[in-house]
Structures are given as C-alpha cells and as structure tokens.
C-alpha cells in the first residue's frame, strides 16, 4: 500500500445551528501536515505532508486527489490555473509549477534564495515571489521582469489587483506599498502604518485594498489615492488572513492571539458595505480561510497528521439583505 493511499477521511459531519450549517471533514495523512492552503475556487486544499510530499484533497468530501513528491518541505506553495496547478517554492530558490492531475513539472524558475511568499494574477500571467525584503516579478515564461524591495525584514503578504496592474506588498518593516506592475515604480505607500500587516486582498472591483495585521484593525484603502477610507472596529486579536466573498459583499478575517498564536482565535465575518460584524466563528485555531464560488466560507484546522476542513454559510449577510 502506498503512502498516497494511506490518507483517509476519518470523520465527516454536518452540524446545524440557528446561525448556519457547517459541514466538517477531517482527513488523516501518513505524516504531519504543514502549510495548508485553499485553491481559489475553494474546491481543493493542498498541504505539505512530512518533509517530502504535498497532498491535494477535494473539498468538501476530503477525497485525496494527488500526492506530489518534493525534495524537501517547501518554503511556500500556491495554487495556480484555478487549482489545476501548484506553485512550489523550494528551499534552494527553485520555484516549480506542477500539474496537480499528473504531478508533472510544467515550468521551473530559479531564484537566488528560497521564496517564502507567492502571489499570482487572476489570469496567471504574472507571478510575484518574495524572499527576505526582496520581491521578484515573473512573467508567464518564467522570466524576471521586475524587482521591488522593502526597507528591511521579510515580506509578509503579496496581492495583485484583479486586473493585474497593481501589486500590493506588506512587510514586517510595517510598510504597505502599492507597485505599478507596468512601470516597476512604487505608486504609493499606505500612510501611518505603525505595525506589520500580515494579510492583503483586493475587493472584487479592484478599487479598494483590504489589509489587516498585528493591530487587529481591518483597513479599507482606496487604491487610487492609497488613503485609508474605512477602519472596521478593532478586535482583540491580530489578523493573518482575509478573504472576500465572490459577490464582493462579505469579508472574512482569520485571527490569531498575539499572546500565543497556538491559542484559539476566531474567524470574524463582516458586511463590507456597512462595516458591520456579522458573525464570529470559533473553530479553534484556523490555519487558512477562503470563500468558494458558492459564497460559503471554508476554514482549515491542523493537528499533527490531521487536517480538518469546515464549510459554512455566512447567513447573517443574506438576512441583512446587504
């Protein structure tokens, strides 16, 4: 029996509350899981398994789709081509584009250091990667087209605008920059940022950048002016991930406790139109979140070799009619 076949669904359930229905599935891999992430459509998850494998499961049923072999545990991973491909940043600086269905290497790029943060445009034409404070922009042929840099420290988050013309970057130097992809120039920096931003995502129309981090406040930034136009009420937790629903109306924020990231922390769900907090999920210590095309929010929990995937509806937003 192969290790591939050893990944099994060990629990599957549906719970219904007055607020929402949540389905939960737990898969067990043959070794400890790390760095789980959702595909853009929310229909797949990938995670490192042990040191030399990446497994991909389907959502919500937890069926194992593929296991890819890698030389060592990657520095970063990211789904591409709508979930059919996986970008894998290796420790030696190589970035491999792997086909999920076959496991084959489609393209191989070589950076001079392990790239710890990855982002792609929606159409897949551009890839941004970061190692330490340096950001590299790659075109679809794997050629480096631009490089950008933060002042110091690691780049914590990268996000392209939906049309691919603007790259937003957040560094542990507490700076958030907007880069013009065509000219390679820094368009602007978001002013008055004192602590680090860990999560960046654009609104569906690309006019606003949503950002949050150590301060716990979610800020809405006008991309044209780089000014903060709205601050959602601060929670006591820091935020490490943001996701916007496909209809652009709902925002989910995955939180962590600054006094210990392994402590339970909520996922907060917001109505973007009004800035109102709709719901607080308390799944435990979420590792990743992501809306699917169905408008349902997915979250992941990780414990040793077990990966738990929850799919839940955000009903309060629909009730509010916003």
By CB under 8 A, name the binding residues for another protein. 151-154, 156, 172-174, 193-196, 198, 214-216, 238, 258-263
**Measured from the CB of residue 256, what is the shortest distance to another protein in angstroms?**
10
**Measured from the CB of residue 152, what is the shortest distance to another protein in angstroms?**
4
**Measured from the CB of residue 155, what is the shortest distance to another protein in angstroms?**
11
* b/e code 14-51 from CB counts within 10 Å (16+ = b): eeeeebbebbbbbbbbbbbbbbbbbbbbbbbbbbbbbe
Closest CA to 116 of 101, 99, 139, 95: 95
Q: Are strands 238-244 and 250-256 parallel, antiparallel or unpaired?
A: antiparallel
**Measured from the CB of residue 174, what is the shortest distance to another protein in angstroms?**
5
Angle, alpha carbons 181-184-185 (nearest 5°): 110
Judged by beta carbon, residue 113 or residue 258, the one nearer another protein is 258
**Measured from the CB of residue 194, what is the shortest distance to another protein in angstroms?**
5
Distance separating alpha carbons of residues 287 and 299, to the nearest angstrom? 7
Judged by beta carbon, residue 172 or residue 302, the one nearer another protein is 172
Check if the beta carbon of residue 143 is closer than 8 Å to that of residue 109: no
- The CA dihedral of 283, 286, 290, 296, to the nearest 10 degrees, is -10
**Phi, psi values for residue 103, rounded to 5°:** 80, 0
H/E stretch holding 6 reads: helix 3-6
H/E stretch holding 320 reads: helix 315-320
Judged by beta carbon, residue 151 or residue 163, the one nearer another protein is 151
Judged by beta carbon, residue 80 or residue 155, the one nearer another protein is 155
Judged by beta carbon, residue 260 or residue 304, the one nearer another protein is 260
**Measured from the CB of residue 173, what is the shortest distance to another protein in angstroms?**
7
What SS3 class is residue 81?
helix
Closest CA to 45 of 255, 300, 271, 269: 300
**Measured from the CB of residue 49, what is the shortest distance to another protein in angstroms?**
21
Judged by beta carbon, residue 133 or residue 271, the one nearer another protein is 133
Judged by beta carbon, residue 87 or residue 254, the one nearer another protein is 254
Q: What is the DSSP letter of 263?
A: S
């Amino acid at each position: 029996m192969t290790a591939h076949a050893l990944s099994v669904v060990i629990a599957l359930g549906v719970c219904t509350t007055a607020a929402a229905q949540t389905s939960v599935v737990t898969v067990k891999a043959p070794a400890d899981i790390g760095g789980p992430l959702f595909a853009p459509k929310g229909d797949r998850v990938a995670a490192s398994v042990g040191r030399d494998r990446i497994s991909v499961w389907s959502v919500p049923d937890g069926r194992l789709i593929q296991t890819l072999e890698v030389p060592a545990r990657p520095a970063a991973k990211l789904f591409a081509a709508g979930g059919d491909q996986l970008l894998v940043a290796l420790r030696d600086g190589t970035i491999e584009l792997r086909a999920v269905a076959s496991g084959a290497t489609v393209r191989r790029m070589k950076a001079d250091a392990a790239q710890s943060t990855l982002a792609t445009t929606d159409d897949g034409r551009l890839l941004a990667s970061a190692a330490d404070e340096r950001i590299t922009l790659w075109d679809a042929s794997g050629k480096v087209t631009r490089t950008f840099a933060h002042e110091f420290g690691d780049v914590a988050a990268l996000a392209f605008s939906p049309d691919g013309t603007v790259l937003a970057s957040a560094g542990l130097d507490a700076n958030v920059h907007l880069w013009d992809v065509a000219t390679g120039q820094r368009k602007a920096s978001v002013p008055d940022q004192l602590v680090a931003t860990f999560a960046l995502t654009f609104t569906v129309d690309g006019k606003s950048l949503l950002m949050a981090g150590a301060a716990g406040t979610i800020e809405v930034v006008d991309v044209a002016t780089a000014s903060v136009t709205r601050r959602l009420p601060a929670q006591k937790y820091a935020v490490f991930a943001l996701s916007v629903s496909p209809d652009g109306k709902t925002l989910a924020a995955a939180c962590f406790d600054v006094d210990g990231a392994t402590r339970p922390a909520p996922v907060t769900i917001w109505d973007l139109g009004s800035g109102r907090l709709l719901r607080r999920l308390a799944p435990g210590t979420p590792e990743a979140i992501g809306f699917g095309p169905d408008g349902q929010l997915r979250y992941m929990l990780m414990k040793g070799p077990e990966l738990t995937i929850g799919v839940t509806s955000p009903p309060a937003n629909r009730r509010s009619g916003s």
